[in-house]
Amino acid sequence: MKICMIGTGYVGLVTGTCFAETGNDVICVDNDAEKIKLLNEGHVPIYEPGLDEMIKHNVSEGRLSFTTDLARGVKESLFVFIAVGTPSSDDGSADLSSVWSVGREIGKHMNGYKIVVTKSTVPVGTTERVKAIIAQETKDQFDVASNPEFLKEGAAIDDFMKPDRVVVGTSDPRVTELMKELYEPFVRTGKPILIMDIRSSELTKYAANAMLATRISFMNEMANLCEKLGADVNLVRRGMGSDPRIGSSFLFPGVGYGGSCFPKDVKAIIKFGLEAGYAMKILPMVEEVNCLQKRMLAEKVIDYFKGNVKGKKIALWGLSFKPKTDDMRDAPAIEIINLLLSAGAVIEAFDPVAAKETKKIFGERIGYGTKNYDVLKDAEALLVITEWNEFREPDFEKIKSLMKNPVIFDGRNIYDGKKLNEKGFTYFSIGKKP
Ligand code: NAD
């Protein structure tokens, strides 16, 4: 099938490439000329495991191309996917300006029947409004559908190629058949393609992200309570998660949720809930708990040094909001670094892939190591912010010999505190008294 993917970011690039992988002809469109130039020169502008090779393969097979020419993409395609960003506005609502402008452009360049699909995460009613915008521009027949994306950065290819479910919002039988045909290769193991009305489909995405964010904030609260009461959140987590009604995933306390989705989607659902006349009670608290949690580790460090971190070198391991991505959007590391910098600390950080993105935020205000041990020399504390696999079993003797002061603040609970104490470290984690 002929597909145009408008917006070639984390979602559009992965989705477009995976559709090409199953034999479709895909044109990826973006208005960022630099990004398209990079892609056309064979470079991949984001870090996502496995994506490089898959792009190369499909480009060389002639099934995948990149352009800034939206008109060509639309004209040559049956499916037109909208995968542009929907970031937070200042008031917390989703900024839909890119969606509206793409809708207008699609309308202007219609040349026959198309199915226009919102893949971006969009508030309830957006897809209907896109339909109205396109209809103002064209007399051609078209349908719209909602098809929210559930991929996780860092595992995006796998998630897209083997989804747990595909959600499609449409009430049109022809669209249903064509969308099922498009997704059939991805659900051969029997995972469902859930067809529902457009509004329910749009809300499903927000409800899923809000639920996951809620689990994280809930566990962070449990962790904070554990610290007060002398319990160990890791044991509590296991005890809770063994109950199949609860399940063990997404019960890990840490430094708060970040990334391009949870923070903005929680804000947006609160906002469009209010606009619809329903003031949600749980989600504003989920957000508040998260804001506090993002500060927690830096505050523990400042407390440990009795309020005086001025001139002290603090080493950070991990910057991205989670492992296997270079995405720094709303990463807890940003808040942690800001707090430590404003208290006068000197920061030196290492991340396997996110240093370039971090430099766009902090420039030379912090130092960047090229290896994990580089940043430890004379450090007075080490903070683990992101649980990259390579941080899990480091050489602790080497760490100790490099640091001025062997103190570890483990924001992801990846180390065994007892063993570290035996090795002479002072160790702080989340949800357990030191
Ligand atoms: P992104 O910022 O990485 O990519 C968006 C792309 O759209 C950018 O390359 C931008 O240049 C392009 N764009 C913006 N306006 C445009 C226009 N008028 N014409 C053409 N291109 C335009 O964003 P993303 O992370 O890929 O997210 C896209 C959407 O998918 C968002 O709604 C997001 O909430 C949702 N989503 C993201 C993830 C994720 O893990 N990143 C997962 C599921 C859903």
Closest-CA residue, ligand 1 atom 41, reads 10
Residue with tokens 């609260």: 221
Among 10, 122, 153, which is best to mutate for testing ligand 1, by the most ligand atoms less than 8 A from CB? 10
Position 5 pLDDT exceeds 90: yes
Domains of the chain: 2-196 (3.40.50.720), 262-428 (3.40.50.720)
Position 269 pLDDT exceeds 90: yes
Coil, strand or helix: which one is 169? Answer: strand
- Please confirm, yes or no, whether 261 is among the known catalytic residues: yes
Position 270 pLDDT exceeds 90: yes
Q: Tell me the Ramachandran region of residue 344: left when phi exceeds 0, alpha when psi lies from -120 to 50, beta otherwise.
A: left
Position 271 pLDDT exceeds 90: yes
Q: How many Å lie between the centroid of ligand 1 and the Cα of residue 195? A: 24
Answer yes or no: is the C-beta of 6 below 6 A from any ligand 1 atom.
yes
Q: How many Å lie between the centroid of ligand 1 and the Cα of residue 168? A: 19
Q: How many Å lie between the centroid of ligand 1 and the Cα of residue 112? A: 26
- Host H or E run for residue 66: strand 64-67
Cα diameter, the chain: 75
Q: How far apart are CA 10 and CA 16, in angstroms?
A: 10
Closest-CA residue, ligand 1 atom 28, reads 85
Indicate the average pLDDT of the chain. 97
Percent of the chain scored above 90 by pLDDT? 100
Residue count (the chain): 434
Answer yes or no: is the C-beta of 332 below 6 A from any ligand 1 atom.
no
| pTM listed for this prediction | 0.95
- pLDDT at res. 316: 98
Model confidence at 384, in pLDDT bands (50, 70, 90)? Answer: very high
Distances 411 to 152, 206, 300, 318 between C-alpha atoms, Å: 21, 27, 10, 10
Q: How many Å lie between the centroid of ligand 1 and the Cα of residue 293? A: 27
Q: How far apart are CA 385 and CA 314, in angstroms?
A: 12
- Host H or E run for residue 407: strand 407-410
pLDDT digits over 69-85, tens only?
999 999 999 999 999 99
pLDDT digits over 309-360, tens only?
999 999 999 999 999 999 999 999 999 999 999 999 999 999 999 999 999 9
- pLDDT at res. 29: 98
Q: Which of 4, 18, 28, 261 is catalytic?
A: 261
Answer yes or no: is the C-beta of 98 below 6 A from any ligand 1 atom.
yes
Model confidence at 434, in pLDDT bands (50, 70, 90)? Answer: confident
Answer yes or no: is the C-beta of 357 below 6 A from any ligand 1 atom.
no
Model confidence at 393, in pLDDT bands (50, 70, 90)? Answer: very high
Structure tokens at 31: 């208005």
Q: How many Å lie between the centroid of ligand 1 and the Cα of residue 7? A: 6
Answer yes or no: is the C-beta of 366 below 6 A from any ligand 1 atom.
no
Position 433 pLDDT exceeds 90: no
Distance of CA 263 to the CA centre of its chain: 9
Closest-CA residue, ligand 1 atom 19, reads 31
Answer yes or no: is the C-beta of 151 below 6 A from any ligand 1 atom.
yes
Answer yes or no: is the C-beta of 268 below 6 A from any ligand 1 atom.
no
Answer yes or no: is the C-beta of 138 below 6 A from any ligand 1 atom.
no
For the segment 234-261, the average pLDDT, to the nearest whole number, is 97
Model confidence at 86, in pLDDT bands (50, 70, 90)? Answer: very high
* Shortest-distance atom of ligand 1 to CA 150: 43
- pLDDT at res. 383: 98
- pLDDT at res. 67: 98
Structure tokens at 284: 């504003």
Closest-CA residue, ligand 1 atom 27, reads 85
Structure tokens at 188: 């051969």
Closest-CA residue, ligand 1 atom 23, reads 85
pLDDT digits over 173-215, tens only?
999 999 999 999 999 999 999 999 999 999 999 999 999 999 9
Position 285 pLDDT exceeds 90: yes
pLDDT digits over 291-319, tens only?
999 999 999 999 999 999 999 999 999 99
Q: How many Å lie between the centroid of ligand 1 and the Cα of residue 13? A: 9
Answer yes or no: is the C-beta of 121 below 6 A from any ligand 1 atom.
yes
Q: How many Å lie between the centroid of ligand 1 and the Cα of residue 99? A: 10
